Amino acid sequence: MASHRIERTTEDIKRELTAIFRELKDPRVTGAFLSIVRVEVTNDLSYCTVRVSAIEGLDRAKEAVKGLRSASGFIRRELGHRLKLRHVPELIFEATDSIEYSANISRILNSLDIPGDESEEETDDR
């Protein structure tokens, strides 16, 4: 029962953080195309780990995390107002390179020269 509440709260936090990130005015955050990759909340709602990634790469994500850490008080206050939580978790921001990694995998897959399956072509002609 409690796990459903944690999952729902985690999704709510992710949704609201996305909206709050758009309102931030720090150039370290607004200059990067950020994506929230994962949000993890502890069972007692005391800590929330937010993993962010930037299309520009890991260095840009790390720079954006510095901006997010400096604005964490504002973000936490806004989160509390929007979600009406009794206890707003402490936000921990971490940078990942998952967007860059997945783009690299996509480039590799697209560069592979895989011949088409002949049996599919025969069924299309019928």
- In 3D space, the residue among 45, 93, 32 whose CA is nearest the CA of residue 68 turns out to be 93
Question: pLDDT tens digit string along 85-100?
Answer: 888 999 999 999 887 7
Domains located in the chain, CATH noted: 2-110 (3.30.300.20)
Question: pLDDT tens digit string along 41-92?
Answer: 999 889 999 999 988 888 999 999 999 999 999 999 999 999 988 889 999 9
Q: Is the alpha carbon torsion for 60, 66, 69, 75 positive or negative?
A: negative
Q: Residue 42: CB partners within 8 Å, gap ≥ 6?
A: 48, 89
Residue type at position 64: A
- The pTM score is 0.76
Residue 4: the pLDDT is: 87
